[in-house]
Structure 1
Amino acid sequence: MSLVIPPTIISPQDLLSVIEELKNYSRYSVHEAIKQRVTVRKSRPANNVELSDEARDLLRQASDGKTISRRAVDNLIRELDAVIKNSQTVTFTLAAPATTDVKRKLADWCRQNIGPSTLIAFKFNSTLLGGFVVRYGSHVHDWSFRRQILNRSNDFMETLRRV
């Protein structure tokens, strides 16, 4: 099965939280099935586990319109674990914390240009002074203001002397 990662799942941490939700859902469904076999049905329904929109979307993809079984949930969890292990991760280090809008735009660009299952990690480091650093595989691309100043430190010092 080829899963399409929802656009709101951006980082490996987002995917890990969805996996944890699905594990809780699986445990809950097994527990409820045992309870229903042992006890007489109650007049009021049992409380269901709340799932995020992302987890529900992935469950719909995994079930292909059929009833969701424990086996399907377990297979989905295994497949998501494989996505985390095998997907490419791009790390953006920004001078300030990234907003949700910036994260989504960068994630969309990476998924269009690198791969649909690319996961993006965000960090921030105020010593960059602006710009950003991108880490992808063994490559590091530093487009920070700090790097620009360090690369042209003589020109920068000359400018300061003239002020």
Structure 2
Amino acid sequence: MAESTDRKETTKEGVSRRKAMMVTGAAVAGAGALMAAPFRDQIQAAARKAMVSTGVGRRILSLADGTYEEWMGEVGSTFALGGQSSIRLVGVRPLRSGGRGPQGVRTQGFAAFFEPVGGQTLAPDLIYTANHPAYGPLPLYLGAAGTGRAPGRMVAVFS
């Protein structure tokens, strides 16, 4: 009588080949994850940059987590604040950093400067929900940063 081909083949120790392959695969995957861990920030940054460049990916991402470069690319954009208020991003300035921060923290802190549109005024030192046309809503803590030429200017700091 012929033996069934459904029977699992086992090694000398009694471990099936399937289990041995699964353990080997898991070990390889684990080793790959450990090797990639130091590069996690770079991998995440590259993936985010690729998603932003498609335009469609912007709806998935929040500008609240955006990089300095992403914010620089949005200078001139108008954000709706609700009601009839809106602000325009007029500049982004990098902040000095004291070395490499913890993993998962922005590698470059920056300040984003806004001006109310159409002569409007805003109360400083409040959290506003700003709605960007491509990225959607994000919370912004806006502080006063007025100057003689731009008395209504506001600032949001990202670190």
Report the TM-score, using the length of structure 2 for normalisation.
Answer: 0.22
Larger helix fraction of residues: 1
Larger strand fraction of residues: 2
Report the TM-score, using the length of structure 1 for normalisation.
Answer: 0.21
RCO higher in 1 or 2 (8 Å CA, sep ≥ 6)?
A: 1
